[in-house]
Amino acid sequence: MTSEMDLKSKTQEKFNELYGPGASLYASAGRINLIGEHTDYNEGFVLPGAIDRGIVAAVRPNGTDTVRLYSLDFGSTAEFGLEEKDGPREQWARYVFGVCREIVKRGGRVGGFDAVFAGDVPAGAGLSSSAALESCFAFALDDLFNDGRIDRFELARIGQSTEHNYIGVNCGIMDQFASVFGRRGCLMRLDCRSLEHEYFPFDPQGYTLVLVDSVVKHELSGSPYNERRASCERVAGRLGLPSLREATMEQLEAVRPDLSDEDYRRARYVIGERDRVIGVCDALRRGDYESVGRLMYETHEGLSHDYEVSCPELDFLVDVARDCGVTGSRIMGGGFGGCTVNLVRDSLLHPFLDTARARFADRYGHEPRIYEVNISDGARKL
């Protein structure tokens, strides 16, 4: 049984037990990102894809103005009134509350409903479990209360605004966009300013994409994530630009004396990363995965030394990958823990994973978790 089928049957079963039969089922996805990290809120380009790990929710309107939720993963319930100002205390329920509020803010309708949901995106691994939750409910509530009239771009923005206004993470649009727009077998090159996107079939013959999770948890709210964004905005402001998207290294060097060393290095990373995304797209068109991998390592260097969102455990995993001859490896997602994304030649996959497990356990006292992912569809009705 696939994991989604498993999620589907346990979600439905629990819904029937708690609220009686008759729910509609929805699914959405977490995401990976091949390259283009911390470029989304700089109005740059990213190259994510939805994965075959996500959230499944059973949802049914209940004719009241109360929302009743059950999270199978937490084994607990939460309830809130749609007119409430502050929302529920449980963090996981705040995501759903935020989605409801953001739909209403945009003129959409949301009535009371009952829902049970479960997921298989590990939380805090950098795979966007929160975007999966947001997009699943945004999609479901659009379908159930708005006849699918909210366009998909807006569904992604609803998730992003939920992060900004109810969770406190000033994130970009990448995660929610990938979670809503994901397409099986394709990465998407997304222009985070215009939201224009191009699907890139991704089937690297002879290579596997594997995630190695350090199991070091990161918490983006109240974390240096928002400070990174603030640094970028300060530098863009100093350059007289709306964002770092158009900034060049020459312009950055010219204002260097006016910047803190930290802000300078943050911007240097972002400008370099913009060029690397373009480089990876060109390499993918040529089927040149060795160049893709080289750029992934460069991204890691930038994220570790200039952007400073890595940590010893993740640097260690990238070093192990390099030692094992892995084609490309880097920290993925917001940073401060989570996992590395690795592009590995098939013949090296098992030796790499065995070595990573053994060396990591030797150093940190526990094994990393390994996830092989498939690029899959985003939010949808089941």
4 is written with which tokens? Answer: 């989604």
Which residue in the set 174, 235, 277, 353 belongs to the binding site for ligand GLA (CB under 6 A)?
Answer: 174
Q: Does the annotation mark 175 as catalytic?
A: yes
Q: From the candidates 175, 213, 263, 306, which is the catalytic residue?
A: 175
Extended strands (E) in the chain:
24-33, 45-46, 48-61, 66-71, 76-81, 113-119, 186-191, 197-201, 207-213, 328-331, 339-345, 369-372, 380-381
247 is written with which tokens? Answer: 């900034």
Q: Does 273 interact with ligand GLA (rule: CB under 6 A)?
A: no
Q: Which of residues 200-239 bind ligand GLA (CB under 6 A)?
A: none
- Residue given tokens 């995106």 in the structure block: 121
3-state secondary structure of 14: helix
181 is written with which tokens? Answer: 């727009």
Of 75-83, 171-179, 254-262, 354-362: span binding ligand GLA (CB under 6 A): 171-179
Q: Indicate the residue among 38 and 276 with the shorter CB distance to ligand GLA.
A: 38
Q: Does 171 interact with ligand GLA (rule: CB under 6 A)?
A: yes
DSSP string, 329-370: EEE-SS-SSSEEEEEEEHHHHHHHHHHHHHHHHHHHSSPPEE
Question: What is d(CA 336, CA 130) in angstroms, rounded to the nearest whole number?
Answer: 16
Amino acid at 18: L
Site residue total, ligand GLA (CB under 6 A) = 11
Which residue in the set 19, 26, 41, 264 belongs to the binding site for ligand GLA (CB under 6 A)?
Answer: 41
Interaction mask 299-338, ligand GLA, x per CB under 6 A: ----------------------------------xx----
Of 63-71, 167-175, 276-284, 340-348: span binding ligand GLA (CB under 6 A): 167-175
Interaction mask 122-151, ligand GLA, x per CB under 6 A: ------x-----------------------
Contact in structure between 241 and 234 (CB atoms under 8 Å): no
Which residue in the set 108, 119, 172, 302 belongs to the binding site for ligand GLA (CB under 6 A)?
Answer: 172
Sort 370 into a burial class: Cβ within 10 Å, 0-12 / 13-18 / 19+: middle
Site residues for ligand GLA per CB under 6 A:
37-38, 40-41, 128, 171-172, 174-175, 333-334
